[in-house]
């Protein structure tokens, strides 16, 4: 076996920040904590005589990347990039692995020995994933990696798909991959205002250059057009006739509605939606070729109109039976059950189509947690409802029957049962065993799901896009 040493020079004592270059790694103070994790310097700039350093915390989600001053840098242990690679290439940054992949990302431990341990984060935090709560979610992610047993409860979906760089991008065009260069590795928008919410973006988004240097981008919450100032937005609102997404309302229950938007018929809205979503989706998302896609936008209704909460997109024709391409709950609405509602709605559409479906792989780390939680709850709901055929007999159910009842794809059903350690081999056949602990966990998780999809409130007829000459 060939073992390769990490492509970094031996750590050195750096007595001055003036010798720091792009690509250096050193401990950096993580805002809101007492922790000093290893970080890589992505870019350096000088503003009014003060040097600022854009850093990426190694093995942490990129939404924590930020500009810091030299006070936040610990120059006692600096790892300089290899000279033949050049500064700022980012090639030494380890690729993030999916939770459950079985592969641990290696972090150089020589710079960790003197740093305090990460603070403990409560599992029961109800804060929205914005500001400090984003930090909490990422720290929680690190804790989840270390858990031995599976859990039926998890966060709602926060990100879309394809955060793992090792996966080759699909050639169908459903996802557009940008090169992980120095530009796209850095957040380029400071703040957006969407309706009553001011939200700090998590990732790079390809907004026009004239919008990038603004302190805040103002977005119409109905048509999603972006403006340079609040005054410009106010003038736009006087002329904007939309009070709901420009598509067909196919579901309404209480104050929750879903609208179906054709990416070809409503191209501008779809592109603006993808631009907005890219602020909170890492690495890959669709933002210009919207023709082959349908967008399902979830809204909440009040006296002012239908306000966007989240959305998912899906290909009109998927050769691999994907029922979701990208999925997102906007940060102000996260941790309220809307993420699972989006997932549940995607499977309700699959039931109407008479198909089994699955989200486009690989999922983001938090997306995977949300889907595993949904799959576990849905499958256990089925298993606990099955009655035995005769007296003194155990209930019988096949994997295929579970797929037909839930529209969850076979491999997702099997992986969920394995993840929950429910499948056992006994006397020549596989049996599913439910422990009291799993059952109690399930009932507790279901009590927290206050909102569910009602299939009677869905008014929708699937289209056979394969037989249509034009979209």
Structure tokens at 26: 């050193």
In whole angstroms, what is the distance from residue 79 CA to residue 96 CA?
A: 20
Q: How far is CA 429 from CA 168, 212, 222, 246, 380, in A?
A: 37, 60, 55, 52, 20
The number of residues making up the chain comes to 471
- Computed on alpha carbons and rounded to an integer, the radius of gyration of the chain in Å comes to 24
Specify the residue for token string 């998912």.
312
Does 348 qualify as catalytic in the annotation? no
- Helix (H) / strand (E) containing 274: helix 267-278
List, as one string, the DSSP characters of 339-406.
HHHHHHHHHHHHHHHT--BEEPSSBPHHHHHHHHHHHHHHHHHHHHH---SSTT------HHHHHHHH
Specify the residue for token string 């005054």.
231
Nearest to 20 by CA among 42, 2, 4: 42
Side-chain-side CA neighbours of residue 144 (13 Å): 21
| Residue 362, preceding peptide bond in cis (omega within 30° of 0) | yes
Q: Who's near 468: CB < 8 A, 6+ residues apart?
A: none
328 burial (CB, 10 Å; 0-12 / 13-18 / 19+) is buried
Structure tokens at 61: 């989600």
Reduce the secondary structure of 227-254 to three states and give it as a string: ECCHHHHHHHHHHCCCCCCCCEEEEEEC
In whole angstroms, what is the distance from residue 259 CA to residue 247 CA?
A: 6
CB crowding 271-284: b at 16 or more within 10 Å, else e: bbbbbbbbbbbbbb
In whole angstroms, what is the distance from residue 328 CA to residue 309 CA?
A: 9
Q: Of residues 66, 159, 348, 360, which has the active-site annotation? A: 360
The helix/strand/coil state of 458 is strand
In whole angstroms, what is the distance from residue 400 CA to residue 391 CA?
A: 24
∠ CA 323-271-285, nearest 5°, is 50
The helix/strand/coil state of 421 is coil
Structure tokens at 388: 């035995």
* Residues involved in catalysis: 360
């Amino acid at each position: 076996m060939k073992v390769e040493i990490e492509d970094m020079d031996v750590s050195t004592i750096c007595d001055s920040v003036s010798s720091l270059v792009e690509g250096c790694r050193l401990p950096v103070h993580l805002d809101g904590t007492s922790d000093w994790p290893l970080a890589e310097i992505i870019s350096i700039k000088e503003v009014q005589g003060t040097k600022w350093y854009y850093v990426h915390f190694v093995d942490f989600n990129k939404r924590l990347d930020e500009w810091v001053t030299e006070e936040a840098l610990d120059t006692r242990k600096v790892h300089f990039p290899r000279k033949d690679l050049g500064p700022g290439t980012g090639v030494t940054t380890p690729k993030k692995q999916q939770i459950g992949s079985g592969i641990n990302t290696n972090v150089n431990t020589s710079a960790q020995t003197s740093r305090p341990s990460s603070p403990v984060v409560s599992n029961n935090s109800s804060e929205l994933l914005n500001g400090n709560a984003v930090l909490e979610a990422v720290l929680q992610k690190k804790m989840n990696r270390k858990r031995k047993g599976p859990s039926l409860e998890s966060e709602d979906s926060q990100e879309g798909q394809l955060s793992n760089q090792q996966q080759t991008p699909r050639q169908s065009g459903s996802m557009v991959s940008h090169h992980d260069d120095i530009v796209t590795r850095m957040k380029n928008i400071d703040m957006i205002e969407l309706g009553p919410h001011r939200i700090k973006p998590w990732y790079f988004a390809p907004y026009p250059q004239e919008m990038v240097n603004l302190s805040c981008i103002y977005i119409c919450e109905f048509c999603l057009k972006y403006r340079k100032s609040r005054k410009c937005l106010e003038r736009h609102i006087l002329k904007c006739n939309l009070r709901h997404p420009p598509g067909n309302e196919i579901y309404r229950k209480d104050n929750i509605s879903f609208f179906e938007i054709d990416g070809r018929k409503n191209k501008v809205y779809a592109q603006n939606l993808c631009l907005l979503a890219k602020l909170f989706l890492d690495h890959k998302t669709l933002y210009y070729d919207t023709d082959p896609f349908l967008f399902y936008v979830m809204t909440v209704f009040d006296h002012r109109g239908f306000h966007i909460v989240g959305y998912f997109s899906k290909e009109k024709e998927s050769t691999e039976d994907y029922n979701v391409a990208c999925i997102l709950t906007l940060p102000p609405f996260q941790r309220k059950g809307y993420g699972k509602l989006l997932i549940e709605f995607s499977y309700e559409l699959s039931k109407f189509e008479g198909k089994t479906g699955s989200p486009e792989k690989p999922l983001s780390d938090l997306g995977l947690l949300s889907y595993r939680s949904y799959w576990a709850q849905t499958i256990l709901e089925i298993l606990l409802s099955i009655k035995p055929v005769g007296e003194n007999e155990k209930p019988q159910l096949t994997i295929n029957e579970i797929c037909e009842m839930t529209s969850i794809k076979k491999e997702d059903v099997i992986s969920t049962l394995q993840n929950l350690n429910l499948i056992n081999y006994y006397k020549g056949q596989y049996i599913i065993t439910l422990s009291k602990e799993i059952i109690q966990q399930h009932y507790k998780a279901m009590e927290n799901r206050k909102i569910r999809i009602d299939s009677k409130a869905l008014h929708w007829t699937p289209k056979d896009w394969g037989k249509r000459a034009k979209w």
